[in-house]
Amino acid sequence: MNLPLVSVIIPSLNEEGYIKETLENLRKQTYPNIEIVVSDGCSVDGTVKIAKKYADRVIVRKTNIAQARNLGVKNSKGGFLVFVDADTILDRRWIELGVNVMERQKDVVCIGGRVLPRAEEVKYRILYKIGWDFLPRVFAKFNCPQFTGVALMVRRKVFEEIGGFDESMCATEDIDFIFRIRKKGRLVFRSDMVSFTSVRRLKRGGFFYWIIRWNMNWFYYLIFRKSSFDSYKLYR
């Protein structure tokens, strides 16, 4: 049986503290037919060196995150695309479960799953439970977007039809992408597709500051259809 190829796209910039675990995790996925493409924005640490040990392809070019994701797709071949942040690990069956949905339900264009924090503190677990479990589960019933770019599966054909991520955005590109792709088909939220991501922005930039800032940006996008961010500070 010929399994469809899945291209995993990982944007990176100075991610030597996380990317090795992310890549090792992908090599342990239960779904066998994947290619890993790392799209690096000219890291000055050991990110590229690490990536070359595990990825099938590593592209190095000065980009923002939207450009990096689009560039990764251009250098990939899979009919299904998985976008994973460099500080994120997937449950071992994440890709297998996603492909099963896409193969059975041809009207599904994008799949998001439950996101958990890589931290034990209660405040992070409550926040992620609400923001990246409860709300996506509810909104997906109405085909409304509340997915995050931390971990997404998309049909390549539909990705190309909508022109990928908006490269003019330094942030909010994932929200914008979901708003546009929902017009092409059905969004699905799967609670059994679990990813685990770092909370470094919340820890180093301020827990309440970023909760407020993210929510303000979400509503700003709803009104103006553009990001409220002129820049997006990195936390490494």
pLDDT tens profile 30-88: 999 999 999 999 999 999 999 999 999 999 999 999 999 999 999 999 999 999 999 99
List the CATH code of the domain at 6-199: 3.90.550.10
In this structure, are residues 110 and 178 in contact, taking their beta carbons and an 8 Å threshold?
A: yes
pTM for the model: 0.96
Per-residue pLDDT of the chain (236 residues; tens, 9 = 90+): 689 999 999 999 999 999 999 999 999 999 999 999 999 999 999 999 999 999 999 999 999 999 999 999 999 999 999 999 999 999 999 999 999 999 999 999 999 999 999 999 999 999 999 999 999 888 888 887 678 899 999 999 999 999 999 999 999 999 999 999 999 999 999 999 999 999 999 999 999 999 999 999 999 999 999 999 999 988 88
Amino acid sitting at position 185? G
Q: N- to C-terminal Cα distance for the chain?
A: 43
DSSP code of residue 101: H
CA distance 125 to 216: 21
CA distance 166 to 173: 6
Domain map (residue ranges) of the chain: 6-199
Query: What region, left, alpha or beta, does residue 166 occupy, with left being phi > 0 and alpha being psi -120 to 50 degrees?
Result: beta
* Mean pLDDT across the chain: 95
Considering only CA atoms, which of 193, 204, 102 is closest in space to residue 150? 193
